């Protein structure tokens, strides 16, 4: 079984995807980490994430880098949003993601284009969203808990800019797949969001079983 979970930054898609993976005993891949790894490589090499050549050079990273704590930094996130706009970067990473999705037994993947590009044949698809102000508050609280000093206004501006880049890019923009279930977590806590996600996936499984 393949479960695709898409949505914008700080919508809760990662938390939901991890919970689904635990529930069904499936491996999980946060595909955003791949783009964060590319962006971080570019920054460490002194390159420009907006430059296609620099971004493509950053794709040559080992799986071990996916455990680097710096991938969770705001700098890596901002760089990831920029490098992900380059078609050649997305092409370089697409097979890596499809191989993960296609392993025996299936998997849960979360990102921006899982249900539309990486695994359009997924058994269940969720598109997780929340209001920008709510997502910014969540991200700000997360950064503060990690001891990082940043303002709410700065985080909100960054969220809105990422949304603009992700939805407006020419190649594989952030979009809800036609057959994805919408999950708006704006007014939901973690437990309620996870419960709703499980209900939506179970409904898809039951429907597939009747076909």
pLDDT at residue 211, as a whole number: 60
The separation between CA 114 and the C-alpha centre of its own chain, rounded to angstroms, equals: 9
Helix segments in 84-151, DSSP class H:
87-101, 132-145
Fold of the domain spanning 2-206: Rossmann fold (3.40.50)
pLDDT at residue 210, as a whole number: 63
Tokens describing residue 6: 């898409």
Mean pLDDT by 10 residues, the chain (211 residues): 95 97 97 95 96 96 90 88 91 93 96 95 97 96 86 94 88 92 96 98 87 60
Tokens describing residue 77: 């996130």
Domain boundaries, given as residue ranges, for the chain: 2-206
pLDDT at residue 120, as a whole number: 96
């Amino acid at each position: 079984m393949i479960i695709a979970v898409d949505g914008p930054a700080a919508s809760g898609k990662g938390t939901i995807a991890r919970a689904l993976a635990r529930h069904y005993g499936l491996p999980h891949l946060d595909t955003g980490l791949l783009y964060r790894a590319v962006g971080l490589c570019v920054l460490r090499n002194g390159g420009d994430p907006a430059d296609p050549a620099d971004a493509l050079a950053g794709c040559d990273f080992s799986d071990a880098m996916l455990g680097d704590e710096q991938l969770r930094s705001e700098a890596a996130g901002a760089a990831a949003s920029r490098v992900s706009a380059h078609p050649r970067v997305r092409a370089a990473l697409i097979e890596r993601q499809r191989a993960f999705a296609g392993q025996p037994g299936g998997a849960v993947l979360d990102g921006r284009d899982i249900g539309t590009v990486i695994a359009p044949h997924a058994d269940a698809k969720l598109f997780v969203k929340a209001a920008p102000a709510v997502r910014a508050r969540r991200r700000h609280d997360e950064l503060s808990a990690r001891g990082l000093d940043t303002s709410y206004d700065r985080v909100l501006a960054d969220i809105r800019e990422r949304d603009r880049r992700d939805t407006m890019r020419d190649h594989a923009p952030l979009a809800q797949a036609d057959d994805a279930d919408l999950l708006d977590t704006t007014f939901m806590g973690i437990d309620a969001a996870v419960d709703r996600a499980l209900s939506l996936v179970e409904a898809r499984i039951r429907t597939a079983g009747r076909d």
